[in-house]
Structure 1
Amino acid sequence: MKKILYTAFYFCSALLLSSCIGDLDQYPHEDETSSTIYTSADNYKAVLGKIYAAMVTTGQEKSGDPDLSSNSGQDYMRCFFNLQECGTDEVASTWLSGDNVTGLTYLSWDANDPWVSDMYYRIYYNIALCNEFLRNTTDETIARFTEQEQTEIRHYRAEARFMRALFYYHAMDLFRNIPFVTENDPTVGYLPPRYTAAQVFSYIESELTSITGDMLDKADCPYGRASQGAAYTLLAKLYLNAEVYINTPKYTECISACKEVIKQGYSLEDDYSKLFNADNDKRTANEIIFTLPVDATHTVSWGSSTYIVCGAVSNTSDLQKPEDYGVKSGWGMFRVRGEIPSLFTGEEDKRAMFFTDGQTLNLDKIDDQSNGYFVEKWTNLTDAGETASNTADGGVNTDYPLFRLADVYLMMAEAFVRGGSGTTSTEVAGYINQIQERAYGDDSNNKEEGQITLSFILDERARELYWEGHRRTDLIRYGVFTTNGYLWQWKGGVKEGTAVNSRYNIYPIPTTELTANPNLYNENY
């Protein structure tokens, strides 16, 4: 049984109130009961658990009250997966109208899109959780505790700041110029100012560089919490995409951050498939840097990894068996567009995990479950091949590995090829070939230094990281998400693919929020 930090996150339900869409005060705020909650170090830990759990759950306990009334009921990671994957070459959605993903799929959304709105309000709800926690963790506030308890709470405080930086990073990446609020701002009736991407970037960078000393290292960090490695990984992502966000390259800084991650002592898991099964919590000992625990007993999620595992199993095929993936029944939510399987050179690459029986490679109809391969990468099976949980009752037991070492190796390689300093072509090739040797089982597909080009890295990121929530950001960084530089099936709503307006590189702030806060506006919607 997984030991999870989150079992007591219901403590926080008394602390925060959520407002309905259309209210001027869109942000959860501190209630007077905080004085009764923050009375012990254990309670601080429980509230921190709520901050982590808010990425994979929708409310309090299993089937409990939802956190947000201004939300369609979707959890953070289900929204994040859809916004990062649905419009790319990695996902072909089945229920276009039924699941309201037509706009995401065809890169044609607007400021009233329900998934865009849900993601936006989830992000800011989670930021509010962090702000409320940080208001109650000042040195003055925690001075009443023992020295040991104060030390623990300072670790919690650093982790809450990391989580807030992560949420602001997602907000900037998805929406770019965004409202900004911290624990130092009023809690009621406050209309946050609009920060530019440059301002948000600077804030995230400052936060991440200042908290690492108070975060636990890999060896001491408990399962399910963010370590120094997580902070450096997020910093590397920030720097790798800096040219997109602030028009200033920071590839040397990206390499430095990647090296700090590597110093923590992570190593690649030998079996790629075990990174995405129901025992993948064990992989935090080697490759997984930061995971989001999902547990059918303690942290039930109908989104996050449950959405991916069950969604990737057909509910119409007579050939694909749900029990082969540890699920009670398939949801038939999505498949993969033909471009991604075509990137693999053959059966030798163990990462090519697709169900092909009765399926076509290409999609004549994007919403036909027989068109496109199903992805077999994620399962609810244990290392022993046994079903881990009853998915109809409590979802899967498979964690969501948000950050892992292979991504860090690929970021470092890309930053070097783009002109960053601080490493060598030999060192980069060594890391890339570790990934190749795991994928192929030997050195038969190892790369020479000159073969590690930007084009290779983009394709390799797809082969290594597909369906993990990276693709949209990668395609934007390469300048091909909206342009005709790379066309994939049904891009822009036509079978052969077409370029779309460049405004779709950024999601719009929801119309409801623009009405509530006159400080905000969308530039191209």
Structure 2
Amino acid sequence: MKLTKYILILFTVIITSCSLDEVWYDRVVPETFFKTEGDVLAALYRPFTHARWYLTGDRWVAQEFSGDHFARTTKGRHWYDGGRYARYQHHEWTPDESQLFGTWRGTLQGVALALDVKQDLGKLDYQELALSEEDKAAHLGQLDALIAFFYLRGLDFYGGLPIFTSLDQEDVPRSTDKETFDHIESLLKQALIDLSVKEVGAPQEGAITKGAAAVMLARLYFNAEAYIGIPMYDEAAEISQALINNEYGTYSLDTDWKGPHDFENDQSPEIIWSIPSEFNRLEYTHYGHMYHYNSRVYFDVDLGSNNGTHLQPSRRPDGTLYSEDFKLGSPYEKFEDTDLRKKPFKYFGSGSYEGMFLVGAQISPINGDQVVGNEEYNGQPLEFVDQVARFSELGSTYSTIADLPSNIGAGEENTGIRLVKIPVPSSQDLTLRWAADHPVFRLAEVYLMLAECQVRLGDPSSAAELINTVRMRAFEGGNDPNPATSGNLDLYRMADEWGVEFLGEGRRRTDLIRLGFFTTEKWWDHSPSNSSHLNRFPVPTAALSASNVLEQNPGY
């Protein structure tokens, strides 16, 4: 199969609403198309729109529903969906999962689009377009880094992938994990030579600079033990420290926990790479799945919500904490009570807000209107609970609370706390809607990467200092009631720190695998399989059917 097929598949999706009289080609012709700098930039950033799509959707489902933070419970007549969410919860997925094929295809589509543009720009005489050779190197460096980004994610999901270096290769088999790792490494090392650093004080507008490529290389080394069986924490620590020392560009932690996520997060000094998303819902549709149909009353704006996803419960049906049963999960209760993020989300107008959860009684902070249910609690006040059970069936199907099961099939419309990671403005401030860009890399990740490396390398005191530097901004006056110390810091605490800081940012499965917990630990409605082959997803059946050279991962 030629890699251009992945481009054609994508274009088919894009142009289905266009006139069939138009002629479409699988590549840009440099000699006829590139006339101005604007033409070059339009081509350069086309693959970035695919990256924006790739960061959400199927990838988010695979990363978060297979972990210990989120679930999409069956809520009466809603959300069974053929049992797919139960399969992710119980680690019983199959090669036929649509999300896994969407991710496989989307990964190679991203590689194809970036390679296509790289080949075309590589042929151009930039001086004829009033551009410099430095501009050309920086553009090609961005595309190398973008190809590495897709391969890095693909390696994380599936292991070794077919390695393409041009669009003309056919019947390319999967490379080994190590060969794929080495290819990513070489792309990023070249990108670090070619890319420029972010200008001091400049907003992040979607371009990949030297700092973003450095984060990717640090991520590659940070997860090397999971990817290729070779620990590379020293290498990850070295790059992370260099990033903190501003050797790859000038960045600093935002002083406000909201800064990397708010309406003007392109200005945050913490953002290393983000993708613009103003007035475009595409990036955050997975957050829209978290809100109740009537959350439009709470927000004073309609988000097209469908009441699907929520945090996994911290409490049993009787109200007691699950922390006695397992160390992972219980995401809401992993936040300290004085953590500013744990407050209910309230929008105050003019871009000002607090908190990041929909929890408890849902009374609009905008106008005081009461949110009511329309399923099990039709017409009754809606209250989101940190529990999963069919409380509406007490006295009928179930005699007492002790009889209530709590599992992926036992949800109700008010089940689970909902995350508002991206602020939602009221109807009075619609110009801010979707104004927040999608943060891909931020400096807090670098701090926690270095901290975990220090834990593994025997320096928990230095690790605790790094963690507390990130934590302190989430508490009034920096008064953290539970700071990390050399005495309380282990890999379980690291799992909690990753979970609190990056809740809902589409990385939980990766962290659990690296920490050694993904197939060995228990969490809500999940028993460990102790089957290490589940650390990789299967190659989708649809991909195998389209090729006579692809091989399935072991264990499937």
Pairwise same-fold verdict (TM > 0.5)? yes
* Secondary structure of 1:18 counterpart: helix
Q: How does 1:42-81 map to 2 (within 5 A)?
A: 42-57=38-53, 76-81=55-60
Residue 76 of structure 1: how far off its partner (Å): 4.9
Alignment partners' CA distance in 1, 2:297 and 2:267: 24
Contact conserved, 1:362 with 1:372, CA < 8 A, in 2?
yes
- Which one of the candidate residues 269, 289, 293 is aligned to 1:315? 293
Change (3 A) 1:260 1:137: farther
Q: How does 1:363-382 map to 2 (within 5 A)?
A: 363=388, 364-366=406-408, 367-381=411-425
Residue 348 of structure 1: how far off its partner (Å): 3.4
- Which one of the candidate residues 508, 511, 517 is aligned to 1:474? 511
- Which one of the candidate residues 248, 255, 263 is aligned to 2:237? 255
Contact conserved, 1:56 with 1:301, CA < 8 A, in 2?
no
Change (3 A) 1:499 1:444: same
Alignment partners' CA distance in 1, 2:8 and 2:281: 21
- Which one of the candidate residues 516, 520, 523 is aligned to 2:546? 516
Change (3 A) 1:351 1:250: farther
Residue 460 of structure 1: how far off its partner (Å): 0.7
- Which one of the candidate residues 467, 475, 487 is aligned to 1:432? 467
2:134 is equivalent to residue 151 of structure 1? yes
Change (3 A) 1:254 1:385: farther
2:448 is equivalent to residue 413 of structure 1? no
Amino acid in structure 2 at the alignment position of 1:52: F
2:391 is equivalent to residue 362 of structure 1? no
Change (3 A) 1:119 1:76: farther
Alignment partners' CA distance in 2, 1:325 and 1:472: 34
Residue 365 of structure 1: how far off its partner (Å): 4.7
Change (3 A) 1:93 1:194: same
Amino acid in structure 2 at the alignment position of 1:506: R
Residue 32 of structure 1: how far off its partner (Å): 6.4
Bigger radius of gyration = 2
CA RMSD, 1 decimal? 2.9
* Secondary structure of 1:401 counterpart: strand
Alignment partners' CA distance in 2, 1:86 and 1:325: 29
Match of 2:353 in 1: none
Single out whichever of 347-356 and 107-116 deviates more from structure 2: 347-356
Alignment partners' CA distance in 1, 2:11 and 2:537: 21
Runs (5+) with no aligned partner, structure 1: 1-12, 22-27, 58-74, 391-395, 492-496
Note the alpha carbon deviations across 1:30-59, whole angstroms, 9 max, x for none: 4364542234432121112111111234xx
Change (3 A) 1:201 1:129: same
Residue 242 of structure 1: how far off its partner (Å): 0.5
Match of 1:280 in 2: 265
Note the alpha carbon deviations across 1:46-77, whole angstroms, 9 max, x for none: 112111111234xxxxxxxxxxxxxxxxx552
Q: How does 1:93-112 map to 2 (within 5 A)?
A: 93-94=72-73, 95-97=79-81, 101-112=85-96
Q: How does 1:491-506 map to 2 (within 5 A)?
A: 491=526, 497-499=527-529, 501-506=531-536
Residue 211 of structure 1: how far off its partner (Å): 1.4
Amino acid in structure 1 at the alignment position of 2:385: T
Length-normalised TM-score, structure 1: 0.80
Match of 2:525 in 1: 490
Match of 2:220 in 1: 238
Change (3 A) 1:112 1:261: same
Single out whichever of 411-420 and 247-256 deviates more from structure 2: 411-420
Residue 135 of structure 1: how far off its partner (Å): 1.1
Single out whichever of 510-519 and 274-283 deviates more from structure 2: 274-283
Alignment partners' CA distance in 1, 2:469 and 2:271: 16
Contact conserved, 1:351 with 1:439, CA < 8 A, in 2?
no
Q: State the number of aligned residues.
A: 459
**Quick one: percent identity of the two aligned structures?**
24
Q: How does 1:392-411 map to 2 (within 5 A)?
A: 396-411=434-449
Alignment partners' CA distance in 1, 2:441 and 2:311: 22
Match of 2:144 in 1: 161
Contact conserved, 1:111 with 1:510, CA < 8 A, in 2?
yes
Length-normalised TM-score, structure 2: 0.76
* Secondary structure of 1:77 counterpart: coil
Residue 171 of structure 1: how far off its partner (Å): 0.4
Alignment partners' CA distance in 2, 1:166 and 1:99: 31
Residue 309 of structure 1: how far off its partner (Å): 3.2
Match of 2:168 in 1: 186
Amino acid in structure 2 at the alignment position of 1:335: H
Alignment partners' CA distance in 2, 1:142 and 1:313: 51
* Secondary structure of 1:204 counterpart: helix
Residue 412 of structure 1: how far off its partner (Å): 0.3
Amino acid in structure 2 at the alignment position of 1:472: R
Contact conserved, 1:44 with 1:153, CA < 8 A, in 2?
no
Note the alpha carbon deviations across 1:331-367, whole angstroms, 9 max, x for none: 2121000211121232335356332212332322534
Contact conserved, 2:30 with 2:121, CA < 8 A, in 1?
no
Contact conserved, 1:178 with 1:520, CA < 8 A, in 2?
no
Residue 103 of structure 1: how far off its partner (Å): 3.1
Match of 2:336 in 1: 345
Change (3 A) 1:249 1:385: farther
Alignment partners' CA distance in 1, 2:502 and 2:237: 19
* Secondary structure of 1:136 counterpart: helix
Match of 1:332 in 2: 307
Residue 98 of structure 1: how far off its partner (Å): 7.2
2:206 is equivalent to residue 219 of structure 1? no
Change (3 A) 1:326 1:417: farther
Note the alpha carbon deviations across 1:238-289, whole angstroms, 9 max, x for none: 1111001111110110011112322133122222134323332222xx1111
* Secondary structure of 2:272 counterpart: strand
- Which one of the candidate residues 496, 500, 515 is aligned to 1:463? 500
Note the alpha carbon deviations across 1:464-496, whole angstroms, 9 max, x for none: 11100110001111222122xx211122xxxxx
Match of 2:178 in 1: 198
Contact conserved, 1:290 with 1:402, CA < 8 A, in 2?
yes
Change (3 A) 1:450 1:36: farther
